Amino acid sequence: MSAPTRTDRAAGAVLGLLGLAVALEATTFDVLFLTDPVGPKAIPMLAAAILVGSGAALVARPGSGGAWPGHGILLRMAGAIAAFGVYAAILAPLGFVLSTTATVASLSMLFGGPWRRSVGAAAALAVVLWYLFVWLLGLPLPLGAVWEALWTR
């Protein structure tokens, strides 16, 4: 069995199981009095049925899924995902400019950018975006709870 076929089988299995889980959860959507003849279960059940049906069909008759990258690239991807997660964690405490500089610089380096220029470009981008969004467009971005605490002390 070739790798693409395996990909399709796995995708079908995951989609089908997800459909079953969705249907199982939908059985708990009980309402005390029915406000309409359809109720809250119909659309989730429809989605679940499609997922189970198409998942099962994919397992039975797989087509060609994609090819997967090697370990080095997967590792780099994990790094990028971690950078996104870290960003969500540090944005409020450290503020937009610093967190964006750190995250964008690490992403740049994951894309093979030279580190000095990655950090420089990231810092410049963070400052430009801050001025563009906060000053020009009036969008609230976090200043950083840590700095605010230091400031007001």
Partner 1 sequence: MDALSHLAGGFAVALQPLNLLLALVGVFVGTFVGMLPGIGPINAIAILIPITFATGMEPASALILMAGIYYGSQYGNSISTILLNVPGTASAVVTALDGHAMTRQGRGGPALAMAAIASFFGGTVSIFFLIFFAPLLAEWAIRFGPAEYFALMVFAFAALSSLAGGSVLKGLAATALGLLLATVGLDPNSAIPRYTFGQIKLLDGMDFVVVTIGLFAVSEVLQLLEETERGQAVTRGYGRVMITAKEFLSSLGAQIRGSVLGFLIGVLPGAGGTIASFLAYSTEQRVSDREGTFGKGDIRGVAAPESANNAAATGAMIPLLTLGVPGSGTTAVLLGALLGLGVTPGPLLITEEPDLFWGLAASMYVGNVFLLLLNLPLVGLFVRALTLPRWFLLPGVAALSFVAVYAVNQSAFDLVLMTGFGVAGYLLRKTGVPLAPIILGLVLGPLMEKSLRRAMSLSGGDWGVLFSSPIAITLWLLATASLVVPPLLARRVTAPASGATPTRTPPR
Q: What is the size of the binding site for partner 1 (CB under 8 A)?
A: 74
If the CB atoms of residues 135 and 153 are measured against partner 1, the closer one turns out to be 135
**Smallest separation, CB 66 to partner 1 (Å):** 4
If the CB atoms of residues 35 and 153 are measured against partner 1, the closer one turns out to be 35
Instruction: Please work out, in degrees rounded to the nearest 5, the angle formed at the alpha carbon of residue 45 by the alpha carbons of 32 and 7.
Output: 145
Under the criterion CB under 8 A, does residue 19 sit at the interface with partner 1?
yes
Please pick, from the candidates 11, 13, 143, 146, the single residue that binds partner 1 as defined by CB under 8 A. Answer: 11
**Smallest separation, CB 43 to partner 1 (Å):** 5
Amino acid symbol at 78: A
Q: Helix and strand tally (H, E) in the chain?
A: 6, 0
If the CB atoms of residues 112 and 153 are measured against partner 1, the closer one turns out to be 112
Instruction: Please work out, in degrees rounded to the nearest 5, the angle formed at the alpha carbon of residue 68 by the alpha carbons of 62 and 70.
Output: 155
**Smallest separation, CB 123 to partner 1 (Å):** 11
Residues 6+ apart with CB under 8 A from 32: none
Inter-helix orientation angle 3-26/42-60, to 10°? 160
**How far is the C-alpha of 140 from the C-alpha of 96, rounded, in Å?**
10
If the CB atoms of residues 34 and 151 are measured against partner 1, the closer one turns out to be 34
**Smallest separation, CB 148 to partner 1 (Å):** 15
Which residue reads 């580190």 in tokens? 115
Rule CB under 8 A: which of 86-115 touch partner 1?
87-89, 91-92, 100, 103-105, 107-113
Under the criterion CB under 8 A, does residue 120 sit at the interface with partner 1?
no
